[in-house]
């Protein structure tokens, strides 16, 4: 996932400076046929990396983007097309800022107080390639947020779309994302399952392995060498251990407990 950052500092929502403790992620889609991020996201003169952002996003000649006062909406991010046509995510509010995206539900409560939010820019809702790319980017963004904020993606009410929020009494009566996902055979249950899978892949990617004893960092070496010397750790072939950092750490703890001597 390509993730840019262009905080909408001129939006009145940003200026409230209110924060939340995120308890979930609410997925929206824009309800308008315009997949381009520049429709909604533009830097202003004070935005860090303004030139680079403008080049990546493309410029909005209509002045109808969301980085301006007078709007009653603001989300934490967008998923859509960059100027070069590729699909990316952009962060548009600090993640723990209180956004304006859900309105008030029938319970009198609002997911604005609990959920990080992002908009998926809709196109004409008939292009399976764009849908697949936007969906995958949304999955990866949600997985990152769940990891960073310790959220359980399968928890009740944690990952919901705007329409889910309405049914749960915490959002206004909008149809997104069920106006779009089902056209390609997907729903929010699929989305949640894909977020779980994406989080699993992240953990695998982060797992560090050491090929030989010489590759093992000094602070793990004694314990790993003891395990090898005692025949407890044999590896794959002569000299090749392919031992994970997790295992090195476990062996070091066992060594401190005197279990390897």
Candidates 13-21, 32-40, 66-74, 170-178: pick the segment binding Zn ion (CB under 5 A). 170-178
Site for Zn ion in 80-99 (CB under 5 A): none
User: Of the candidates 174, 192, 248, 251, which one interacts with Zn ion according to CB under 5 A?
Assistant: 174
Tokens of 22: 């995120």
Please say which residue, 2 or 167, places its beta carbon nearer to Zn ion: 167
Choose, by CB under 5 A, the member of 6, 27, 28, 192 that binds Zn ion: 28
CB atoms under 10 Å from CB of 90, counted, come to 25
Among 39, 81, 162, 226, binds Zn ion (CB under 5 A): 162
Residue 155 Cβ vs Zn ion, minimum distance, rounded to whole Å: 21
Query: Is 140 or 176 the residue whose CB approaches Zn ion more closely?
Result: 176
What is the C-alpha separation between 141 and 89, in angstroms, rounded?
7
Tell me how many residues contact Zn ion (CB under 5 A). 4
Segment near Zn ion (CB under 5 A); pick from 13-21, 108-116, 149-157, 167-175: 167-175
CB-wise, 43 or 165, nearer to Zn ion? 165
122-130 long-range contacts, Cβ below 8 Å, gap at least 24? Answer: 122/29, 122/30, 122/31, 122/32, 122/33, 122/34, 122/35, 122/180, 123/33, 123/34, 123/35, 124/33, 125/33, 125/179, 125/180, 125/183, 126/183, 128/184, 130/35, 130/81, 130/87
Q: How far is the CB of 23 from Zn ion (least distance, A)?
A: 18
Look-up: residue for tokens 């399976």? 128
Instruction: Indicate the residue among 162 and 226 with the shorter CB distance to Zn ion.
Output: 162
Least distance CB 110 / Zn ion (angstroms): 13
Which residue in 176, 195, 227, 241 binds Zn ion (CB under 5 A)?
Answer: 176
Residue 165 has φ and ψ, to the nearest 5°, of -60, -40
Report the distance separating Cα 208 and Cα 112, nearest Å: 38
CB of 227 to Zn ion, least distance (A): 54
Q: Which residues lie closer than 8 Å to 175 by C-beta, 6 or more apart?
A: 31, 162, 163
Find the shortest distance in angstroms from Cβ 117 to Zn ion: 8
Helix, strand, coil shares of the chain as percentages rounded to 5?
35, 15, 50
* Site membership for Zn ion, residue 76 (CB under 5 A): no
Residues found near Zn ion in the complex (CB under 5 A):
28, 162, 174, 176
């Amino acid at each position: 996932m390509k993730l840019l950052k262009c905080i909408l500092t001129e939006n009145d929502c940003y200026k409230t400076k209110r924060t939340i403790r995120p308890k979930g992620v609410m997925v929206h889609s824009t309800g308008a046929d315009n997949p381009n991020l520049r429709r909604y996201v533009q830097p202003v003169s004070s935005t860090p990396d303004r030139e680079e952002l403008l080049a990546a996003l493309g410029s909005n000649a209509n002045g109808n983007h969301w980085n301006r006062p007078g709007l009653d909406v603001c989300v934490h991010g967008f998923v859509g097309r960059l100027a070069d046509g590729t699909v990316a995510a952009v962060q548009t509010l600090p993640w723990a800022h209180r956004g304006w995206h859900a309105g008030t539900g029938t319970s009198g409560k609002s997911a604005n107080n609990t959920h990080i939010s992002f908009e998926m820019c809709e196109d004409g809702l008939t292009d399976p390639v764009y849908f697949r790319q936007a969906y995958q980017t949304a999955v990866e963004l949600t997985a990152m947020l769940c990891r960073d904020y310790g959220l359980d993606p399968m928890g009740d009410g944690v990952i919901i779309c705007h329409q889910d929020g309405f049914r749960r009494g915490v959002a206004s009566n909008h149809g997104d994302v069920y106006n779009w996902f089902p056209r390609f055979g997907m729903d929010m249950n699929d989305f949640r399952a894909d977020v779980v899978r994406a989080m699993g892949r992240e953990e695998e990617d982060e797992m560090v392995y050491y090929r030989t004893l010489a590759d093992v960092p000094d602070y793990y070496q004694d314990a790993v060498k003891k395990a090898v010397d005692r025949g407890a750790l044999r590896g794959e072939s002569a000299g090749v251990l392919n031992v994970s950092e997790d295992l090195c750490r476990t062996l070091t703890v066992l060594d401190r407990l005197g279990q390897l001597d």
